[in-house]
Amino acid sequence: MTDHRGTAGGNAPPERLGDYVLERRLGSGGMGVVHLARTVTGRQLAIKMIRREYAEDPGFRDRFRREVAAARRVSGAFTAPVVDADPEGDPPWLATLYVPGGSLTDRVEREGPLTAREAARVGAQLAEALQDIHRSGLVHRDLKPANVLLADDGVRVIDFGISRALSDSHRLTERGAVLGSPPFMAPEQLTGDGEVTAAADVFALGAVVAFAVTGRSPFEAGGPPGADPLAVAYRVVHEEPDLGDLPEALRDLVGLCLAKDPERRPEVSALLRMAEWADTRAQAAVVRESPVWRDGLAARRPRDPSDTAGTADTAETRASPGARRRRRLTAAAAALAVVAAGVGIWLARTAGTDQGTADSAVDTGGDAAGSTTGVDGPSGPWELDLQDLGVRDAATEGFSCVPTTAHVLCSAGGTLAVVLGRDGTELWRHSGPRDAVGGPSAFSTGGAVLARSDKGVVTYSEDGEELWEIDAPELTGDLLRVRGTLVLQNGDSTLRFYDVDSPTQVGEWSAPGRYITRTVSSGSYALVETRVDETGADPELMLIDADGREAWSAPRRPPEDAAGYLESVGMDRDAAYFQEFDTELPVVTAVLRLDLTDGTWTRTPLSRPADPRTVVADGIVYASDTAGAITAVDPAAGEELWTAETGIGTASEPAFTDGRLYLSDGDGRLYEVDAADGEVLRGGEPHPGTPGPGSDAWAPAPLIADGVAYVVTLGNTLYATPLDALREL
């Protein structure tokens, strides 16, 4: 029962609303008035009371009731969740957690525009918030600077889902009021010519990021904020945005978001990749005409020997022009997230990659890093729809698989770990924190499975029995094994070392005043990359043993002839290997080798740029791109061994096993490639599945274990096929 002495449309607000005491007015908008309130225990809430003209509309109440019910399902690190609501009240009202700190509008008015890095971080957090909202079946429809609150630990998006009830029943103006915010509304919202989908929120995100870094909407044509809304609405629908004042690092991304055609805007899942380079203080690379992405989208798969016509039949050639256009733009948006500093955009997969490094560095003693005996015995073919595991889009959620001693462990970043039997049966699963973006993927070692938990890291036996938990409240980076020690990163600058068979801490290493941006391991040692605050510059490398002790007397630095940003990609007993980014485009232009014994560097330029997904095996580096080109480099000799145009369209990351490379294409076909010369030996059957919203990235490397290939596809499926069956085709 609502106790009031007036309404939102009357002369005075109620002193109480339900069980809440109203303390003061915070502001007002087109739909209602917002008050600061408190509970009987003193918790502060923000309560929005709906204006009388909408409350008296039965149709609006029905929609408001449905939207409140849906909004209650939204939760995430960057949203302000609904705490309580009374759609039947007089007036109807909605209560969310109160977030002190003010809105993005307040911040810009008070202190001026954000820096490019700050605006990028806001954009990354908004993308994650929108993903949570969209997963709940809602479209925000009113994302604007006033609805973006700036808390100490990141943004909070408010009013999610409620604007839908408003926009369904009213046009742009009614009774002289502007409903919605034209500078941040998509053209289809203003014209009513098309369905308002999640793409409208992407448009708004681009406009908000532009506002954050310039202080105005890109459609306010150089005038002050708050210009004539109808004039602004006209520009949104008919004119191009003014992006001249945006920093170059953000201009292309914002421009993609502000495309007039909703089909041309990138997916939120692609934009979410901003989170990793923003959180690691990295800089955006500028993408315009990257040959890697352009060639990848035009690539043809290898011709089947039995196909005498030789006609290319790839997902790209079969797609409609509109679908191909959308793929190109989504790929470009994903490419924008490649970093010029930090751990790289594919952090969610690196834990699995590091587990594959075998020999120990410098010293051959101890277990191999993350070594396993593989999956027991071959299995027959099977296929899973990853939607059944709660994975909407494997390519953008970092879904990949690694072997355990008897099963297969698959994970999506730090949010999901699932153990599958060799027949594809789900044996058990662990759900990590919802805010685990950028944290370590699940890890398998010595018959145990380790996964991210609310507390830090939880350890399970392979059959799903919880064994112990490690307290690591600031867990980030990767989980690694060095001899009999588990290595984890807790905070920006500290590594902790734990006994792999117990929760006992055995050592610690820190880099005061610096930030750990990458760790790789191999057997007896871990190689740690650190950088300075904010700039992502001044990289240093240190070799550390299983107890956290430094193996070098001083850190190593990149060689003087390094022409771009270096990222470590692996190590073995003799050396560590790096890929070198071009500073202007998100492509790899060289590979480097650091000798772990004498500290010498060898740099080998690539004759063809590659995508940043280099793999190392038996001292040979394999660089590849989505067009299916592979370059093999002997980094010790400083020379290319061969370059091959395999023609594998939308190629996955490669995996190496027993002298063979294995890749999948955009239709999920598995290919076997001779690692000696790049010849395509054979290809499997397509597994197209149902592509997810961001499947214009590339798939992770296939897992090859005990004669069976486990392939994650861009169609959001996981299938298993014995290699013998592939070789019989």
Measuring CA to CA, how many Å separate 257 from each of 21, 125, 241, 465, 694?
41, 15, 11, 46, 14
Contact 322, 669 (CB under 8 A): no
Contact 220, 229 (CB under 8 A): no
Strand 708-712 relative to strand 703-705, pairing: antiparallel
Contacts of residues 41-45 at CB distance under 8 Å and 24 or more positions apart, as own/partner, are 44/97, 44/98, 44/100, 45/20, 45/83, 45/84, 45/95, 45/96, 45/97, 45/98
* Residues in the chain, total: 729
Please identify which of the residues 84, 132, 142, 625 carries the catalytic annotation: 142
Confirm whether 142 is a catalytic residue: yes
Q: Which amino acid is at 23?
A: E
Contact 501, 517 (CB under 8 A): no
Query: SS3 for 545-582, per residue?
Result: ECCCCECCCCCECCCCCCCCEEEEEEECCCEEEEEEEC
Cβ burial, residue 100 (10 Å; 0-12/13-18/19+): exposed
Measured N-to-C along each axis, helices 248-257 and 198-214 cross at an angle, to the nearest 10 degrees, of 150
Strand 44-50 relative to strand 456-461, pairing: unpaired
Distance between start and end Cα atoms, the chain: 71
Contact 600, 611 (CB under 8 A): no
What are phi and psi for residue 663, nearest 5 degrees? -140, 155
621: which 2 tokens? Answer: 């580096």
Measured N-to-C along each axis, helices 321-336 and 248-257 cross at an angle, to the nearest 10 degrees, of 150
Residue 10: Cβ within 10 Å count: 12
- In the block, tokens 């499947």 appear at 695
Residues involved in catalysis: 142
